[in-house]
Amino acid sequence: MAERARTPGAGIRGADGRLATRTGWLDSRHSFSFGRHHDPANTHFGVLLVSNDDRVRAGTGFESHPHRDMEIVTWVLHGELEHADSEGNRGLIYPGLAQRMTAGTGIWHSERNPSPVEDVHFIQMWVVPDAEGVGPGYQQLDINAELAKGGLVPVASGRGHDAAIAIRQRHAVLWAARLGPGERVALPDAPFVHLFVAGGTARLGTEAGGGGGSAGPDQLVEGDAARLSGAGGPTVTAGPEGAELLVWEMDATLRVA
């Protein structure tokens, strides 16, 4: 997967360059190495290990399977996703409802599309926890009211943000935004920022203000991602149909042996 570098520390990953897993019921596109798809040059960014763009057919889904020592955040874009796990947690995830599962010492869970007619489209993201061996856990929180206020809204935070689900990773915050046509936000000024365009189109660049750096504008479409390292908080401007953004702000990265 080639990275289109614009300036040192900045790169765009196009939607059409992602590896994919396709079955009769699943269309999953991976931003990083996942499952049978392994690229030693693309295993993570910051503390973000997985960012999967999943579409699950009506009436199907992931049967019960295990996880361990991972913070898993799920964000639904269209449709609904039903969660059930071995700790007795159950939940129906819909657009604007943030969900976090702490795998900890070990948990089994299933994720199914309960609709008989409509596919579900969601983004699932994994970050490593601060410490291994904690107890498993689950949290979900509706943040639609916060999103309606505009701008970047904290979705999952290891830093105690109000109105955000908690993750056990003090070096990371996930932000979301639903931007109207032409609306602009400044990205966090952090050592590592991962921007994913979950819907619509957007323009990334610093020429209109909102941070340091010298990168020119980049046009982004649904499924594109930008990996920014010390980019100084560039602005993102929504296209004519608006944009939905998912932004990981991170101040640490994984050590690679």
pLDDT at 256: 60
Structure token digits, residue 108: 């089994």
For 21-59, b/e burial (b = at least 16 CB within 10 A) is eeeeeeebbbbbbbeeeeeeebebbbbbbbbbbbbbbee
pLDDT at 104: 96
Q: What is the mean pLDDT of residues 105-132?
A: 97
CB atoms inside a 10 Å sphere around CB 219: 12
pLDDT tens for 183-241 read: 999 999 999 999 999 999 999 984 433 333 334 468 999 999 999 998 899 999 999 99
Q: What is the mean pLDDT of residues 15-36?
A: 94
pLDDT over threshold 60, residue 8? no
Average pLDDT of the residues of the chain: 91
CATH of domain 10-250: 2.60.120.10
pLDDT at 255: 77
Q: Which strands sit side by side in the sheet containing 137-142, from one edge to the other? A: 19-22, 26-30, 48-56, 120-127, 71-78, 97-102, 137-142
CA distance linking residue 15 with residue 136, whole number of Å: 33
CB atoms inside a 10 Å sphere around CB 226: 25
CA distance linking residue 146 with residue 97, whole number of Å: 11
Q: CA Rg, the chain, in Å?
A: 17
Q: Which of 13-22, 73-82, 98-107, 212-221 has the lowest average pLDDT?
A: 212-221
Q: Which of 9-13, 105-109, 215-219 has the lowest average pLDDT?
A: 215-219
Q: Where are the domains of the chain?
A: 10-250
Residue 147: its H or E element: helix 144-147
Coil vs helix vs strand at 29:
strand
- Which residues does 76 contact at the CB level (< 8 Å), separation at least 6? 93, 94, 95, 97, 120, 121, 122
pLDDT at 37: 93
